Structure 1
């Protein structure tokens, strides 16, 4: 996964699609009854913080995103109805994070984004 200066705020980037598709061996996919909720969780602020701290940043601003990083992310079990707009709040609530902890996560994301931008100058 590569990031550019114009794309730094769109990390991570997981998506939901339905239909019949063939994928190459470098693409991972999920299936199941709550995939849309999982996609929202994987695109959350918490997931960004987790990935920025656990996925190797390559020297050109790319990330070596691998299956094991996604498989090992600690996510709460959220139910249907969690949207892109509500997912952060629901995750923080499920983990019982304080406002200081939430602020720490948000600041850490900004710091990592700036770090990546400095790499891809």
Structure 2
């Protein structure tokens, strides 16, 4: 598991999801113009391992357009490797922004990380048959 703190208002931590080719990235705090560059650098290591990512955003207290752009750029980078981004715990301003820009139609969203991981495991089993 890796942990990164950026100016004490935004923290990420990452761990692999056992039994899958996925990692879960937890976000806590404010994802905005000041924290997005560090966030992208933190997640780049996971992207380079060609793993699906479950991004648990339920502890985000604030997100701006730069933060949303960072999330969408991660989704785009994963697609280049045939991998997916699963969002868990979307709420509040993030949900509103994603709906406004119609990105929610193009993202795989779940109520919580457990649901996202269960769906991921189902997909892994289906593709391995």
TM bucket (normalised to shorter chain) is under 0.3
TM (normalized to structure 1)?
0.28
TM-score, scaled relative to structure 2? 0.27
Structure 1 or 2, whichever has the larger Rg, is: 1
- Counting strand residues as a fraction of each chain, which structure ranks higher? 2
Structure of higher RCO (CA pairs closer than 8 Å, 6+ residues apart): 1
